[in-house]
Amino acid sequence: MAEERIWTAALLVIGDEILSGRTQDRNVAQVAKWLNLQGVRLAEVRIVPDVEARIAEAVNALRGGHDYLFTTGGIGPTHDDITVDSIARALGVPVVVHPKAKASLEAYYEARGGVTEARLRMARVPEGAELIDNPMSGAPGIRVGNIFILAGVPHIATVMLEALSGTLEGGRPILSRTIGSFTPESEVADLLREVEAAHPGTQIGSYPFFRDGRVGANFVVRATDEARLEACASDLAQRLREAGREVREEVV
Amino acid sequence: MAEERIWTAALLVIGDEILSGRTQDRNVAQVAKWLNLQGVRLAEVRIVPDVEARIAEAVNALRGGHDYLFTTGGIGPTHDDITVDSIARALGVPVVVHPKAKASLEAYYEARGGVTEARLRMARVPEGAELIDNPMSGAPGIRVGNIFILAGVPHIATVMLEALSGTLEGGRPILSRTIGSFTPESEVADLLREVEAAHPGTQIGSYPFFRDGRVGANFVVRATDEARLEACASDLAQRLREAGREVREEVV
């Protein structure tokens, strides 16, 4: 069997509000899950402040090492929205007004007080960019090369991801199967290692939890091949039972 | 006035479970808020998979550029817990068993089936390390040089941070004041920029929201100096009112 091509993406989260702890990020998990459905693996995330040089540096570090780079945050109309300028700087291209983005903003704001200079900031893109539809608020996302520039507000990022669904080249999604058990993971560490080793092409992650004063763990089996996944998960469940451990569905 | 020394930290989140989207990260926000109380600014976050080379590379990229590096995740007893080995590799030191960590694990597991080889994995540290107390589960956190190695389970990370409170050298915390308004941020973009420019040493972030079908934004003023913070926030509130905008407390 030829080695499977693995498609990867990085995500750059831009925003002082995340780094200050004021806002709980919601985009890492949603971008990760969406990417997996496209057959692309989220392989790295960076979170940087609203500083042009720091954004540009991260963009250049990440765009070459992965098939795709996604960014969230910093594409609104205010002075702290500097993502477009920073990415243009990273790419060494000028910022231009995209006529279709301008038309979209004019249509959206026609009944909302008209476009202003601040609102037209959201039509600015790095030269050579295409738009990503945003049916929610008129200000589009931006694609330039392998970089996808999304909004920071999670439900706007969601509609931009929906607009991109099915458009990326990818491989097979990672499938997973979770087995929960009220067993301390330290008591089955050898068993987990042995089962993983016996099933090439699979990985087993062990995630401890505490519920109602009891210790347990969710064991997450991952593979791109469904038959391998099932074989590994069945083997794990059987060996846990043989070791006198109860086995149940994922404990949430 | 001498320029203020700014203390910074980076955070490295280690874990396939975060990158797969399966688990919602809770540590970025809690580490960020805790660091700010210590007078240290969280300046960068990276999230990497459970791969030794990727962890070691990120550790070496981050530990030099910041006063402190924190890591979360990968210090449990199972085969996928490789943080200690990866950090030792990054530092070029061997992994050793810390006698106090071993004693702590022996005491904790005395009434829980005794220590096993898997459990003793949690006594392994990079050579030269000190321990961070973990009153919750017997497996300590680890400090080696400017690197602080914390658990990934958020409430265990919390008790480790509590154990470290007041022990780091830092500067002044960033103070913040939030003003909410049911105003589209694009209508006050110029005003925000002008107020920020008129108050050196302050920053204004603008975070839009949608509530009950209405658009608004929270404007977050940040400064390390309380007098400057108050002056900027008052000025902002006054200018918003003069522009006919309602002003209220933060909209959550």
**How much is the ipTM here?**
0.94
pLDDT of B228 reads 97
Cβ of B21 within 8 Å of Cβ of A28? The answer is yes
Cβ of A36 within 8 Å of Cβ of B20? The answer is yes
Give the closest-approach CA distance of A197 to chain B in angstroms.
11
**pLDDT digit string, tens, across residues A105-140:** 999 999 888 899 999 999 999 999 999 999 888 899
* A40, A44, A46, A47: best to mutate for the B interface, most B CBs within 10 A: A47
Cβ of A42 within 8 Å of Cβ of B22? The answer is no
* A17, A22, A27: best to mutate for the B interface, most B CBs within 10 A: A22
* B6, B22, B109: best to mutate for the A interface, most A CBs within 10 A: B22
Given its phi and psi angles, is residue B239 left (phi above 0), alpha (psi -120 to 50 degrees) or beta? alpha
So where are chain B's domains?
A: 7-164, 175-249
Q: How sure is the predictor about B207, in pLDDT bands with cuts at 50, 70 and 90?
A: very high
Cα B146 from chain centre: 15
> Strand order of the sheet with strand A203-211?
A203-211, A214-223, A175-181, A248-249
As a whole number of angstroms, the distance between CA B78 and CA B121 comes to 8
pLDDT of B113 reads 86
**pLDDT digit string, tens, across residues A163-219:** 999 999 999 999 999 999 999 999 999 999 999 999 999 999 999 998 888 889 999
Cα distances (Å, whole numbers) of residue A187 to B39, B41, B140, B251: 41, 39, 18, 47
> Does any CB of chain B come closer than 8 Å to the CB of residue A186?
yes
The widest CA-to-CA distance across chain A, in whole angstroms, is: 70
Chain A residue nearest residue B20, CA to CA: A32
Asked whether residue B56 carries a pLDDT value surpassing 60, the answer given is: yes
As a whole number of angstroms, the distance between CA B163 and CA B165 comes to 6
Decide if B14 contacts B75 (C-beta within 8 A).
no
> What mean pLDDT is reported for chain A?
95
As a whole number of angstroms, the distance between CA A131 and CA A150 comes to 10
**pLDDT digit string, tens, across residues B163-181:** 999 999 999 999 999 999 9
Q: What 8-state DSSP symbol labels residue A110?
A: T
As a whole number of angstroms, the distance between CA A160 and CA A154 comes to 10
Q: What 8-state DSSP symbol labels residue B78?
A: S
> What mean pLDDT is reported for chain B?
95
pLDDT of A66 reads 98
**pLDDT digit string, tens, across residues A3-34:** 789 999 999 999 999 999 999 999 999 999 99
Cβ of B25 within 8 Å of Cβ of A28? The answer is yes
**pLDDT digit string, tens, across residues A31-54:** 999 999 999 999 999 999 999 999
As a whole number of angstroms, the distance between CA A72 and CA A121 comes to 17
Question: Which of A76-80, B54-58, B109-113 shows the lowest mean pLDDT across its residues?
Answer: B109-113
Of residues B33, B41, B77, nearest to A189 (C-beta)? B77
Cβ of B16 within 8 Å of Cβ of A153? The answer is no
Q: What 8-state DSSP symbol labels residue A185?
A: G
- For A:194-213, CB contacts with B below 8 A are 196, 203-210
B31 vs A115, higher pLDDT: B31
Mean pLDDT value of segment B224-248: 96
As a whole number of angstroms, the distance between CA A217 and CA A207 comes to 5
Mean pLDDT value of segment B113-118: 89
Chain A residue nearest residue B195, CA to CA: A79
Domains B7-164 and B175-249 fall in the same CATH topology: no
pLDDT of B46 reads 98
DSSP one-letter string for B175-222 = EEEEEEESS-GGGSHHHHHHHHHHSTT-EEEEEEEEETTEEEEEEEEE
A89 vs A212, higher pLDDT: A89
> Does any CB of chain A come closer than 8 Å to the CB of residue B44?
yes
User: Quick one: fold of A7-164?
Assistant: Molybdenum Cofactor Biosythetic Enzyme; Chain A (3.40.980)
Residue ranges of alpha helices (H) inside chain B are: 16-19, 27-37, 52-63, 83-91, 99-109, 117-120, 154-164, 189-198, 226-242
Residues of chain B with C-beta less than 8 angstroms from the C-beta of A184: 112
> Does any CB of chain B come closer than 8 Å to the CB of residue A78?
yes
**pLDDT digit string, tens, across residues B67-96:** 999 999 999 999 999 999 999 999 999 999
DSSP one-letter string for B46-65 = EEE-S-HHHHHHHHHHHHTT
Decide if B71 contacts B157 (C-beta within 8 A).
no
Asked whether residue B2 carries a pLDDT value surpassing 70, the answer given is: no
CA dihedral (A108, A150, B214, B220) positive or negative: negative
> Does any CB of chain B come closer than 8 Å to the CB of residue A251?
no
The widest CA-to-CA distance across chain B, in whole angstroms, is: 70
Of residues B13, B49, B189, nearest to A77 (C-beta)? B189
Asked whether residue A1 carries a pLDDT value surpassing 60, the answer given is: no
Give the closest-approach CA distance of B223 to chain A in angstroms.
12
pLDDT of A2 reads 59
Q: Give the residue among A244, A251, A105, A233 at the shortest CA–CA distance from A175.
A: A233
Q: Give the residue among B104, B122, B156 at the shortest CA–CA distance from A185.
A: B122
Q: Give the residue among B152, B196, B181, B204 at the shortest CA–CA distance from B250.
A: B181
Statement: A175-249 belongs to CATH 3.30.70.260: yes
> Does any CB of chain B come closer than 8 Å to the CB of residue A42?
yes
Give the closest-approach CA distance of A145 to chain B in angstroms.
23
Burial letters B169-190, b for 16+ CB under 10 A, else e: ebbeebbbbbbbbbbbbbbbbe
Mean pLDDT value of segment B169-196: 95
pLDDT of B22 reads 94
> Does any CB of chain A come closer than 8 Å to the CB of residue B48?
yes
Cα B155 from chain centre: 14
Q: How sure is the predictor about A250, in pLDDT bands with cuts at 50, 70 and 90?
A: confident
As a whole number of angstroms, the distance between CA A163 and CA A156 comes to 11
As a whole number of angstroms, the distance between CA B118 and CA B78 comes to 7
The DSSP H or E segment spanning A226 is: helix A226-242
Decide if B71 contacts B82 (C-beta within 8 A).
no
